[in-house]
Each structure stands twice: as C-alpha cells, then as structure tokens.
Amino acid sequence: MSLIPYNRVKLARDSERPTGLDYIGHIFKGFMEFHGDRRFADDHAVVGGIARLGGSPVTVIAIEKGHTAKERAYRNFGAAHPEGYRKALRLMKQAEKFGRPIICFVDTSGAYCGIGAEERGQGQAIAENLMEMSTLCVPVISILIGEGGSGGALGLAVSDRVWMLQNAVYSVISPEGCASILWKDASKAEIAAARLKLTAEDAKSLGVIERILSEDDIGKKEFYERIRTLLIEEIGELSNDLDLVGKRYERFRRIGADVVNKE
Amino acid sequence: MALINFLKPKNQLEEGGRTAALVQRDEGEPEKKCPNCHKDIPLSRLWANRLVCPCGYHFRMKARQRIKMLVDKDSFEELFAEMKAGNPLNFPGYKEKVENVRAASGEEEAVVCGLAKIGRQDCCLFVMDPYFMMGSMGSAVGEKITLLFEYAMRHRLAVIGFTVSGGARMQEGLLSLMQMAKTSAAVKRHSDSGLLYLAVLTDPTTGGVTASFAMEADIILAEPGATVGFAGMRVIEQTTRKSLPKGFQKSEFVLEHGFIDAIVARANQKKMLAELLKMHYGG
C-alpha cells in the first residue's frame, strides 16, 4: 500500500483506528490503571498503570484519544496538559524503582495549547520528561500508533526502542501548521506533509525509529498477538543489556550529528 | 545582597512603563522607536544602555553583542564555529533561506558557543541569536549545544546559556525534534556530574527550546518582559477561542507561576552571573 504522505496523516488521525486503550486491553493482562500526577490533577488524555506482559509486570502508559465524540471530548482528543506528562513521569519513576520495563503508546496531535497548560508549565513538564527519561535504568519502548505530534509525542518517546505503525506519522510540526507558517495557507498541508518527511519509512531512514509495524489485520487478534511477541522479545533483549542508559544516550546523540556541514 | 533581588519585580511593562528621563534630542541622529513607550530613542543612547530603553524595555540583541557585553574583556574563545546546518530533508527553499540569513547576520548558525570568563570565573557559554531564523533549533544548533555540555563535563565547568528561539526548525523536520532529546540528555549528564547550569531566557523563548534545555537549568533567570512559553499565543487563541490574560507568557507572568527563579535586568546580569558562579565554585 503506497499512500501520499497527507493521506497517511488522515489515516493516522482516523477515529476508527485502535487507540492506546485498545492496545493495552489486547496486548497485556490484568491492567490496573493509576491516576493523577500527585501535584495538580488527573489528566484524562494520558492513561497509565501496571499490567502483565507474558507473565511479567510492566508499566504501561498511553496517550488516549478515544473513539466516540464523547470519549474524544473526555480525553481532550489526546492533547495532554502538563499533568499528563507529570503523571507519566511519576509512573516511569515508579517502574524504575521496582525494576519494571516501560511501554508507551503515543498518539497525539501535540501537547495541549491552552492557557492553563501554559500557566502550569507545559514546556517545563515536557523538558523534565526528556531529561529524566534519558537516564531511566529500565528498558523503555515507545510505539507511535497514530499521530506523533512534536514535543507532545517526544515527551513519551525518549526510549531505547521507538517503533511506528505503518501508517503512523511523526513530525516536528503538523502539516497544517507548517503550511500556515510557510505559505500563510493551511490548505497547502498536503505539500507540507510531503516535505516534512513524516512517514514511518522516512523516520526509519532518518534513524529516528528502529522498526515499522505492519498494519495487516489491524485491530484483530493476530495484529495484537504480533506486537505482543515483538515486545516480549525486545524486552528480553534489553533487560540483559548492562549498558542500557549509555546506549540510549548514544541512540539520540548521533541523530543529526552527521548532517552538520563541517568545513 | 542588593544585586540578587529575588523579590517579585513590579511589572512596569504592564503598567505602561517607568517614567522616563527626558531624552535629549540631537537633530539628525538615528533613532529607534520603542514598542513599549512609543518614544523615539537615539541609537547612541540605546547602545550606551545595552539596548535597553529608558522606559525599561529590553530590545533584542545579537549573540555577539551580548557576549561582548557579558564576558571579561578578550576572554571569549569560540568553540564549534565550523558546525552549520545542511539540508538533510532537501526541504525546498531552505538552503537559500539559510544562505540569505548568513549573509545578512554574519553568523553561520543560530547559536554561538565558547569558553569565557565572567567576573574572572571560567565557564562554558552559549548564546542564541534572534537574527538567525529566530534562534530556531536544527541539527547544528542541537549538536553545538550538546558538544558544549559534553565539553563542560570533561573540563568540570559550569554552563551559562542565553536562550532565544521560536522553537525547533521545521525545515529539518524530525531531526530538529530529536535535538530536544539529544540536548536534554546532555544537560542531564552534565547535571548528574554535579555541575552548574544557569539559563537566562530572553525574548522570545518558545516551543521546542522551552520544552527542552531552556527549562532544564539549575537556576533559570529571565530578562524583563521576555516572552517565555511553549505554544504560540495565536495558536492558543485559535485553540481555546478565549482572549488571553494580561501579560500572558511574559517573564513576569512565568515568574508568578513558579517556573523561573528571578527576573534580572540586563544591566545587572553580569554581576549576578559572576556572583552565582562564585557561590558555586568558591571563587
């Protein structure tokens, strides 16, 4: 299946697509949700807790968009406030304390742009996650399942492995935002989408992700089964790595280092 | 100590500015209009006052002007000057844009890094430049800042960083986004080895830079009246369909909400930074 990049964007945003909770429900067993950032509130756009994967306890965190209009409003369309990032960090630190691997499902058009979000430090919340995730001493795997919108997505993706669904997108800015900055015309999003190199194949060739997950049988038992098997394998491998944090540093350290012109 | 004034400053910009001293007019001298008090101020007077209007408004400054104002005479030694952006995504128009900006600004990239002495204290310094694509962060900016933190770690030095940025540079797509993670990881390593990082946020510090190294310093200072935030104000208005509160995203507002340590006028910055370095490194 070959789609122009903007059609991928539309597909990635489709409300029929499986959301974070669908993945959690089908891949893991006995999920227990834990709420709140212990500072201000519980952000419904971020779901987190512990569950079993192949029998072992793991911490699972997802940005949840919801399917129906009602769900989507409740989840703020997957646009997290600072509390969402702080809840995620709290659960990640808890996972580190108890030696649990962490799996994040990322699906957001971006961190929420609002007055309260700014007042409560949206930038600081994301910055802290980037910093703290870089030295977590347990395996961290992030899967971009739909939209990977800029810093709001990266705030849950400073990980040992980052995977993307075949039709997920990952971008520094939305195609609409890019078009309105460059040409003052959001309707040129289609052109912007092609230029931003935001598809899974682009991300892989830029060295930003390790694996593209096929969408064959998406939403069916076989689909989730495949992802579960891959996760169990990968976590097994990462758990034996004695230099996890060092390698995670190098993983991000090299990105963009080779494109700089040195004269 | 008077120079470290942690009291909340009165937001003079919000109240229409301080009462300005009468400006002596010299016919024919070039002037600049202050966007705060709307007076025409002779350029020579502005320069004598570090590009600060008598009303208190802080004009934007080029990176090298700031370095000159800040560091001990002849102490600045530039590092990583050879690093500059390529066009990794072959983004149409990017190469030309960068070339034009280079010609106009005289800079190769949106950040200048190096070694400096401030009040006879050694430190690593980075200063971003608002006149280079509004300080946007692409691969070269991320690489230079990361290299500086790594250098500072090897040589056990503090880092002082002046931020100004519209955010990640979209023409380098995902590679720009990843610089947020890369720089943050470098800040973390530097921090974990017990070293000091001081950030001074200047107008405007937004987007991916706010959401990474600008907000990760041990001590975060800001210039008066600087815009400091994550999302752009227009985007927030469009998203929320609400009018924004007075002074929204100004450094005084961000201080009030608990995200910066102090607001420091340009005239006091050098003394304060020198004193902070001394307090941490026992000079």
Q: What is the pLDDT of residues B138-161, one digit of tens each?
A: 999 999 999 999 999 999 999 999
Mean pLDDT of B40-45: 92
Tell me the residue length of chain A: 263
Of A173, A249, A263, the CB nearest to B170: A173
Of B82, B143, B184, the CB nearest to A131: B184
Any A CB within 8 A of B82 CB:
yes
pLDDT at B8 over 60: no
Whole-angstrom Cα distance, residue A105 to residue A237?
20
Any B CB within 8 A of A257 CB:
yes
Q: What is the chain A residue with the closest CA to B83?
A: A262
Cβ distance of B139 and A260 shorter than 8 Å: yes
The answer to whether the Cα torsion of A18, A21, A22, A27 is positive or negative is: positive
DSSP state of A76: G
Q: B6-10, B45-49, B91-95, B251-255 — which is least confidently predicted? A: B6-10
Q: What is the chain B residue with the closest CA to A252?
A: B182
Any B CB within 8 A of A176 CB:
no
Of B85, B215, B235, the CB nearest to A113: B235
Complete DSSP assignment for B4-20: S--SPPP-TTTTT-PPP
Of A121, A130, A195, the CB nearest to B212: A130
Any B CB within 8 A of A165 CB:
no
Give pLDDT, residue B186.
Answer: 98
Give pLDDT, residue B17.
Answer: 46
Give pLDDT, residue A181.
Answer: 87
pLDDT at B187 over 80: yes
Distance from CA of B150 to the nearest CA of A (A): 11
Whole-angstrom Cα distance, residue B41 to residue B214?
31
Any B CB within 8 A of A113 CB:
yes
Alpha helix locations (H) across B59-109? Answer: 63-70, 94-105
Distance from CA of B169 to the nearest CA of A (A): 8
Of A118, A253, A259, the CB nearest to B182: A253
Distance from CA of B82 to the nearest CA of A (A): 6
Whole-angstrom Cα distance, residue B278 to residue B283?
5
Of B89, B92, B244, the CB nearest to A115: B244
Any A CB within 8 A of B269 CB:
no
Give pLDDT, residue B282.
Answer: 76
Give pLDDT, residue A260.
Answer: 60
Q: Which residues does residue B57 pair with via DSSP β-bridges, in sequence order?
A: none
Under 8 Å between Cβ of B30 and B47: no
Cβ distance of B142 and A135 shorter than 8 Å: no
Tokens of residue B254, six digits = 């961000």
Tokens of residue B258, six digits = 């608990």
Any A CB within 8 A of B147 CB:
no
Give chain A positions within 8 Å (CB) of B79.
none
For chain A, 263 residues long, the average pLDDT of each consecutive 10-residue run is 83 94 98 97 98 97 97 97 98 98 97 95 98 98 97 98 97 92 87 95 97 96 98 97 97 85 52
pLDDT at B6 over 80: no
Q: Which long-range contacts (CB under 8 A, 24 or more apart) does A203-208 make?
A: A203/A164, A203/A170, A203/B174, A204/A164, A206/A255, A206/B88, A206/B173, A206/B174, A206/B175, A207/A254, A207/A255, A208/A162, A208/A170, A208/A255, A208/B174, A208/B175, A208/B178
* Non-local CB neighbours of A245 within 8 Å, separated by 6+ positions: A134, A135, A136, A137
Under 8 Å between Cβ of A87 and A126: no
pLDDT at B249 over 60: yes
Q: Are strands A56-63 and A46-53 parallel, antiparallel or unpaired?
A: antiparallel
Residue B29 or residue A43, greater confidence: A43
Give chain B positions within 8 Å (CB) of A261.
83-86, 140
Alpha helix locations (H) across A28-143? Answer: 69-74, 82-97, 115-119, 122-133
Distance from CA of B246 to the nearest CA of A (A): 12
Give chain A positions within 8 Å (CB) of B178.
154, 208, 252, 255-256
Whole-angstrom Cα distance, residue B220 to residue B214?
8
Cβ distance of B177 and A154 shorter than 8 Å: yes
Whole-angstrom Cα distance, residue B203 to residue B224?
9
Q: What is the chain A residue with the closest CA to B171?
A: A196
The answer to whether the Cα torsion of B67, B71, B72, B77 is positive or negative is: negative
Give pLDDT, residue A185.
Answer: 84
Whole-angstrom Cα distance, residue A46 to residue A88?
7
pLDDT band, very low/low/confident/very high, at B26 (cuts 50, 70, 90): low
Cβ contacts from A onto B, under 8 A: 193
Under 8 Å between Cβ of B237 and B193: no
* Cis peptide leading into residue B204 (ω within 30°): yes
Under 8 Å between Cβ of A253 and A246: no
Give pLDDT, residue B5.
Answer: 47
Under 8 Å between Cβ of B95 and B263: no
Tokens of residue A30, six digits = 């006995």
Of A118, A130, A173, the CB nearest to B229: A118
Please state, rounded to an integer, the average pLDDT across all residues of chain B: 91
Give pLDDT, residue A186.
Answer: 79
Mean pLDDT of B195-222: 98
Q: What is the chain B residue with the closest CA to A173?
A: B170
Give chain A positions within 8 Å (CB) of B82.
262-263
pLDDT at B4 over 70: no
Give chain B positions within 8 Å (CB) of A135.
185, 188-189, 192
